[in-house]
Amino acid sequence: MADPALATRAVDEQPPRPGDQHWYDLPDDDAEPEEEPEPVVPAPRREWRPEWRSGVGRLVHRWSAVALLLALWEALPRLGVVDRVFVPPLSDDLAAGYDLLVTGQLGEHLGASLLRSLAGFALAVALAIPLGLAIGRYRPVADFLSPVLELFRNTSAVALLPVFTLLLGIGETTKITFVLYACSWPILLNTISGVRTVEPLLVKSARSMGLGPARLFQKVILPAAVPAIFTGVRLAGAYSILVLLFAEMVGAKAGLGYLIQASQSSFRIHDMYAGIIAISAVGLTFNQLLVIVERRFSTWRTSS
């Protein structure tokens, strides 16, 4: 009974997955010839060079807004439009960041944060994917676990942090468990819906070739679910840093969250901004890495 709700929620949270579209119904099947004419002659693969060049053009275009924001950050405090004390110019913040880097403080905090998020994230991947596959595949497992999952899914991880702290103390275990908890949901829900939304015709086709349940799962359902699983993993990657930061701000002696919080309360505003810049750099890098891994595993999705 809780399943449909669970599935709908999962859909709400994510960008369109290949399961939503039918790769059979691409333009050339239907009446849209102007969009993609039938390639009668073997069309050569798209040239690498022009694609790369237009890619650069797009990159410049996309980053111009970021450049503008950074320019404003530098200019507005200098022009006195905003208070320099609260928002120091970007160059000052970067200089402070450089000092932190040289003294080794930044590395120490960064290392502490990364260790926690990666540990929690890796555990979530290791636990939530198999669990999601089992729930998506086996009705009885789903019926049994769905209500509990629905309950916990709607309980904010942040609300549970005090509970984790009570049970596990204020050490590393708490923070890693906290990240694990928060990261599990997107992976779990996307895996479940990935398994459930496998095109029935593919299953039928494989069955007609005599595949039993185990081979069917290995050769059809699992590969078909990979893109959805990766969507979940990528979301989890972002969550792992977001929630950890919160945990570190509440109670920690190291980590970027601690650095930001401690700098603010001791009025080292430059350091605070340096910490913020560091955390967004970490987030961007992590996300990009996951995107690269995702591409590697799903080349068959529409090439873009």
Partner 1 sequence: MTLAPGRADTKISIRGVTKTFQARGAGRPFTALDRIDLDIRGGEFLTLVGPSGCGKSTLLDLVAGLTTPTSGQIVIDGTPVTGPGLDRGIVFQQYALFPWRTAAGNVEFGLEAKGVARRERAELARHHLALVGLTGFEDRYPHELSGGMRQRVAIARSLAFDPDVLLMDEPFAALDAQTRESLQEELLRIWERTGKTIVFITHGIDEAVYLGQRVAVMTSRPGRIKEVVAVAFDSREGDLRADRRFGEYRHHIWTTLRDEVAAARREEATPVG
| Residues in touch with partner 1 (CB under 8 A) | 18, 22-24, 26, 28-30, 38-40, 42, 201-202, 204-211, 215, 219-220, 223-224, 226, 298-303
Residue whose CB is less far from partner 1, 40 or 85:
40
Q: How far apart are CB 57 and partner 1 at their closest, in Å?
A: 24
Q: How far apart are CB 228 and partner 1 at their closest, in Å?
A: 13
The pair of three-digit structure tokens given for residue 192, joined into one six-digit string: 């479940």
Q: Smallest Cα–Cα separation from 121: which of 253, 249, 239? A: 239
Residue whose CB is less far from partner 1, 42 or 140:
42
The pair of three-digit structure tokens given for residue 165, joined into one six-digit string: 């702290």
Residue whose CB is less far from partner 1, 80 or 200:
200
Distances (CA, A) of 38 to 42, 48, 64: 10, 22, 38
Residue whose CB is less far from partner 1, 40 or 65:
40
Q: Please give the angle made by the CA atoms of 71, 77 and 81, to the nearest 5 degrees.
A: 105
CA of residue 221 relative to chain centroid, distance: 23
- The backbone region for 210, taken as left when phi is positive above 0, alpha when psi lies in -120 to 50, beta otherwise, is left
Residue whose CB is less far from partner 1, 23 or 98:
23
Residue whose CB is less far from partner 1, 44 or 57:
44
Residue whose CB is less far from partner 1, 208 or 265:
208
The span from the CA of 99 to the CA of 273, in Å, is 13
Q: How far apart are CB 219 and partner 1 at their closest, in Å?
A: 7
Write the burial class of residue 11 (CB in 10 Å: 0-12 exposed, 13-18 middle, 19+ buried): middle
Q: How far apart are CB 135 and partner 1 at their closest, in Å?
A: 22
The span from the CA of 171 to the CA of 161, in Å, is 12
Q: Smallest Cα–Cα separation from 66: which of 301, 280, 230, 288? A: 280
Q: How far apart are CB 205 and partner 1 at their closest, in Å?
A: 4
DSSP-assigned letter for residue 217: I
Q: How far apart are CB 18 and partner 1 at their closest, in Å?
A: 8
Q: How far apart are CB 48 and partner 1 at their closest, in Å?
A: 16
**Do residues 194 and 225 touch, judged by C-beta distance below 8 A?**
yes
Q: How many residues does the chain have?
A: 304
